[in-house]
Amino acid sequence: MKSAFVAIIGRPSTGKSTLINQFCGGKVSIISRTPQTTRNKIRGIYTSQDLSTQLIFIDTPGFHNSDKKLNNYLKDLVHTSIEEAEILLYVLDTARPPGQEEHTIINMLKKSDKPVLIALNKIDLPAKLRKLTKEEISQLYPEVPVFEISALEDKGITELLEALIKTSPEGDQYYPDDYYTDQTPEFRIAEIIREKAINLTSQELPHSIYVELADMEMREEENLLWVRGFIYVERESQKGILVGKAGAKIKNIIHQSTEECKDIFPYDVQLDIRVKVKPKWRKNDSLLSRLLK
């Protein structure tokens, strides 16, 4: 048996979460166009009995050079993921020019002395900048194998997976065959709600949102999980945006979240979700250390 922890590292919005979902064949990690959507170390599991392999992928927050408090927590998660992993998968977005962060990331990866593979993602998009990214990356990091992929359209994923398996050491199977994530229902539901809230609002609001569930109750006779939770924002005006006219926006967030829960859980999920204001939560250490891990 081969097994390995594989940390997926890269700048915000390069497609790391889309890729982990593609590897694991299910929704493990939430996705949005807004940078810094992922705020946790998210495990997704790929198991192949035929190939006697289990890979445990760790999706990480997009690495961004900023010293704001929340960002420092996110950067710490990237660092600890690199420490915990045996293989590092570095994902770049070929539709954007390589950024400042590439230098910091490459230095981090080189320092770790672990095997690194590079995935150049979004090759389904026009190839204008792809050559530039390829040239720059092969200069900065010449010895590392490079794979061109589209996480969205499932292109080049099999080849990348084969290379990861080749790189994996012998090891034990950590999770049963049918596991594709180790997340609790509570965490998954909160993340789904956050994804819908991000995707149904624009620009600045997503960074001000966090979600916490307060109560859950399994009603066996109805095969229903009842959930009460809160979407927190920083200001009254943001609360207005999230609630929407006559509650239309929050109703839509609840509706879309409930629909998605149907695809994931073998029971119905009923959501009772309210919006609350928590000023300056992004500066609150005890909250951040509870939320971001």
Ligand X SMILES: Nc1nc2c(ncn2[C@@H]2O[C@H](COP(=O)(O)OP(=O)(O)OP(=O)(O)O)[C@@H](O)[C@H]2O)c(=O)[nH]1
Binding footprint of ligand X on the chain (CB under 6 A)? 10, 12-18, 31-33, 35-38, 61-62, 121-122, 124-125, 150-152
17 binds Mg ion (CB under 5 A): yes
Measure the CA–CA gap between 286 and 281, rounded to whole angstroms.
Answer: 10
Which of Mg ion, ligand X, none binds 121 (CB below 5-8 Å, type-dependent)? ligand X
* CB-nearest residue to ligand X: 62
40 binds Mg ion (CB under 5 A): no
Q: Supply the DSSP symbol for 150.
A: B
Q: Which is nearer to ligand X, 70 or 243 (CB)?
A: 70
> From the CB of 90, what's the least distance to ligand X, in Å?
12
Among 3, 34, 38, 121, contact with Mg ion (rule: CB under 5 A): 38
Which of Mg ion, ligand X, none binds 122 (CB below 5-8 Å, type-dependent)? ligand X
CA 171 to chain centroid, in Å, comes to 25
- Write down how long the chain is: 293
- CA dihedral sign of residues 151, 112, 78, 54: positive
Which of Mg ion, ligand X, none binds 150 (CB below 5-8 Å, type-dependent)? ligand X
Which of Mg ion, ligand X, none binds 36 (CB below 5-8 Å, type-dependent)? ligand X
| Binding window for Mg ion (CB under 5 A); candidates: 3-11, 38-46, 93-101, 107-115 | 38-46
Q: Supply the DSSP symbol for 2.
A: E
263: left (phi over 0), alpha (psi -120 to 50) or beta: alpha
Measure the CA–CA gap between 90 and 106, rounded to whole angstroms.
Answer: 9
Q: Which is nearer to ligand X, 3 or 36 (CB)?
A: 36
Which of Mg ion, ligand X, none binds 14 (CB below 5-8 Å, type-dependent)? ligand X
Structure tokens at 168: 């994996």
Segment (H or E) for 198: helix 185-199
The torsion angle over the Cα atoms of residues 234, 80, 188 and 92, rounded to 10 degrees, is 90
Q: Which is nearer to ligand X, 216 or 292 (CB)?
A: 292
Which residues contribute to the site for Mg ion (CB under 5 A)? 16-17, 37-38
